[in-house]
Structure 1
Amino acid sequence: MHLFVADGTVGDTATVRQRYIGQVVVDPVQPYEERWTQVDGKPGRRLYVFRLRPAPGVTLALTDQDVMQTASTTEALPVPPAVDDTAGTSATAVPTEQHGTDSTTANITGGARTLLRREGRLVTAFEKHLAAHGHVVHRFQIRVTGERGAFLTDPYDATDNVLYEAKGKATREYVRMAIGQLLDYRRHIDVPDGLRLAVLLPEEPTADLRSLLEAEGIALVTQTADGFAGFPLPPATA
């Protein structure tokens, strides 16, 4: 694609001048990010922000104005939960990432690579499970002072005050990553009675990884053939 950006107007007219940036391609690994605007401290519109990369051999003509500005304050904005559009769910809620296929193939450097969608499908199934049990679910969009962009957490169960981090595999690499993300999120999310943390996995991890989660005070929920083991979490202790 050839990328242009608006760059002022032509003379005293309303005609917008366009400035050429260069040729770009959509990031094949993570083509877009989901973000939310704010209106008076509440969620406004959901945005899909496409991640564009320079085409091979291209140097983009970017200026400081073309780069997303850093956040002036740290904030965690609660955003609506997922919607299964095929189930006739209320149109006032907003969907999280929905995945209709198990995988997709992208052509990137090094050849074709299959990008598994296990994590997204796991989250979708778990959110439906929470809703079926009458739990109120949403997520948080977090912006950090001095950093560009924003990121969304995985489901937050407001009924049980639990923030989940889902991973598509139950290996050490993914469990350790989930622990780090949860500890980072917890520093920025202020909820009454303190935030509880849990990792959501598609299968049971090894005994040592279960011990690691227990040592960090992080609960574990795993998907089973007929639901989710470990849910609901035991009541919080003082």
Structure 2
Amino acid sequence: MASQYSVIRCSYENFSIRKDEEFVLIHELKVHLYVNGEKLTITYSLIKEDKCWGFTDAFDCDNQARPGILSFSEIEDLLLYEPNIKRMKEEIEMRLYNRTLPLTKIYEPQNYSPYDFVDFQNKCKHIAQSYKLPYTVLTFEQLGYTSFNTVKLHFRKGPLYLLCNHYRVAFVKDLDNYPFVFFDDSELAKCFGLPYEVLSVQFLNQPLNIEDIVTGVEEFDVEYYVSHFLPKTNGEFLFNFWD
């Protein structure tokens, strides 16, 4: 799903860091932009010896990393084709390499994920507000390493946990016992539109079928996890505490 973005401004700075017993000069382009109505900042960097641009995650106004709010191709297009950014980029390259042919290479991190977990958290906050419920965003520090992000809704009759693994959503009432006991909630499911997919209990409890659940952007070695942890169902594979 393409993002709607517009560039506010772009600034340049350089600084030295120590690398392999020597000091190297890093050139940075800091790009401020609106993405889907949010103000974000992405920093592109270039070291002369590398001849390849790198980039940071987008950061929002709360200094929260938003790794999936822009796709890699959108991040690449910003640097290569957005007029003001492209101009500043090529001015830097001209000073460094004294060449008119601009660099077109940008470093793509391995397993770059287009999943924006903060969007999931914000969506859960809106759901809680619509139900007039208190909520808690649970962090990895609180839960330990998990394959999913979690928001807890505090219903009077007991807590309800919303789990999300790469836009795949499931509901549970208890996080203390694993494997989880999932449940369906048609009203909550209606709150999640695309790109989210609310998975049914029937699907989650089916015997594991990797072809049904693995996308092209998973951040783990599927074969290793299947052979090492022996998940029996789709739900065990997608929502787990493996480390």
Higher helix share: 2
The reply to whether TM is greater than 0.5 is: no
Higher strand share: 1
